[in-house]
Amino acid sequence: MSKWLNPRSAFGIALIAAALIALPFVAAMGGQAWVRILNFAILYVFLALGLNIVVGFAGLLDLGYIAFYAVGAYTYALLASPHFGLHWPFWVILPIGAAVACFFGVLLGSPTLKLRGDYLAIVTLGFGEIVRIFLNNLNAPINVTNGPQGITLIDTVAFGDFRFSGTSQVLGVSLSGPQKYYFLLVALAIFVIIINLRLQNSRIGRAWMAIREDEIAAKAMGINTRNLKLLAFGMGATFGGVSGAMFASFQGFISPESFSLQESVIIVAMVVLGGIGHLPGVIVGALLLSALPEVLRYIATPLQQLTGGRLDASILRQLLVALAMIGIMLSRPRGLWPSPEHGKAAPAPTAK
């Protein structure tokens, strides 16, 4: 019998499914803002899983990953807003955003094939900043991105007459806009996780890991390191483009400020904090770092009041997040949920 048909596994899957279905309704008890936080947490899971392909599987340090997020978001915004008067359907724009982001991923990967470590990090960091600066200045002489003012009135996701904005009745249950987006994002997240699992267990995934461990040895074994590196950049960028398109449709407004270097650093921290190369760990890291600042808001505000307002609550919140990350990495240097160690020597046989 397959492990998926095992009664214990089936019960676990059913329990997780029930929790995922109930979660937006439980969060809505505290207000729709908490449902929006859940949605942004899932978007960060997309980004972390995409970056994990580049950093975790292939071992290529990428500090400009937020650029692909921006490319996907602006592709969706330009094709589904009054800015150019285009209102293409969601199911058409999403593959286009993914393809454009993939192209930029290959474009970034091509000149960096011989770079590793700090040098690769510097080049990718520069690429991310170049994209943000271009988006901030492409409003003259032809207004392409509307510059620092951003793009507003972006179309929401719609399938026929069913729109993901506003409140709707679905099977007799009243769902708000953020709750409808939650279920759409969860469905996409499951799809992305399945793709990552298949990649990890495939020949391509094993080749990426061989490159991560020792590129010279991998090349000596006949692995085409050039093409596989480009594939890693392209696949990772594709997930970033999908995340950006979903962000634009959900937020309804984007601007270059949403794609700063700080966001790239946070996404790298999610992968490292959760456990590089381990999908469950990366998901845990993304959920933790996306929700932790909002939870610490309730601690930072009372601390601000205790100091008579001398310390700003937002600065205190960032300080608490940084201290929490330092504490976790000191106690768990391989991440919260690291991947199982490979290559352990077999125990020596005992004499009889």
DSSP-derived secondary structure for 162-184: EESSS-EEETTEEE-HHHHHHHH
30-55 mean pLDDT: 93
Q: What are the tens digits of pLDDT across the range 135-166?
A: 999 998 899 999 999 999 999 999 888 899 88
316-322 mean pLDDT: 80
186-209 mean pLDDT: 93
72-80 mean pLDDT: 96
Longest Cα separation, the chain: 84
305-331 mean pLDDT: 80
224-253 mean pLDDT: 95
Which pLDDT does position 190 carry in this prediction?
94
Which pLDDT does position 222 carry in this prediction?
92
Query: Domain spans of the chain?
Result: 16-259
Phi, psi of 87 (to 5 degrees): -140, 65
Q: What are the tens digits of pLDDT across the range 88-140?
A: 999 999 999 999 999 999 999 998 888 888 899 999 999 999 999 999 999 98
Residue with tokens 């937002």: 314
Which pLDDT does position 78 carry in this prediction?
96
Model pTM? Answer: 0.90
Residue 345 predicted with pLDDT over 80? no
What percentage of the chain has pLDDT greater than the value 90? 62
Lowest mean pLDDT, pick from 23-27, 79-83, 299-303:
299-303
Tokens of 156: 């929401």
Using pLDDT thresholds of 50, 70 and 90, give the confidence band for residue 25: very high
Helices (H), ranges, the chain: 7-28, 32-52, 66-79, 90-109, 117-137, 177-200, 203-213, 215-220, 225-251, 261-274, 279-306, 313-331
8-34 mean pLDDT: 88
Tokens of 348: 């020596």
